[in-house]
Amino acid sequence: DPDPVAAELNCQTDHDPANGGLVVVFSARAGDALLAAVEARLADLPRADTVRQALAQNGFLVVVRTLDE
Please name the helix (run of DSSP H) or strand (run of DSSP E) that holds residue 61, with its range, or none: strand 59-63
Sign of the torsion angle spanned by Cα atoms 63, 29, 6, 14 = positive
pLDDT per residue as tens, the chain (69 positions): 999 999 999 999 999 999 999 999 999 999 999 999 999 999 989 999 999 999 999 999 999 999 898
Structure confidence by residue, pLDDT tens digits, 5-20: 999 999 999 999 999 9
Helix (H/G/I), strand (E/B), else coil: 17? coil
Contact 42, 51 (CB under 8 A): yes
H runs (alpha helix) in the chain: 2-13, 28-42, 48-58
φ, ψ of residue 66 to 5 degrees: the values are -140, 165
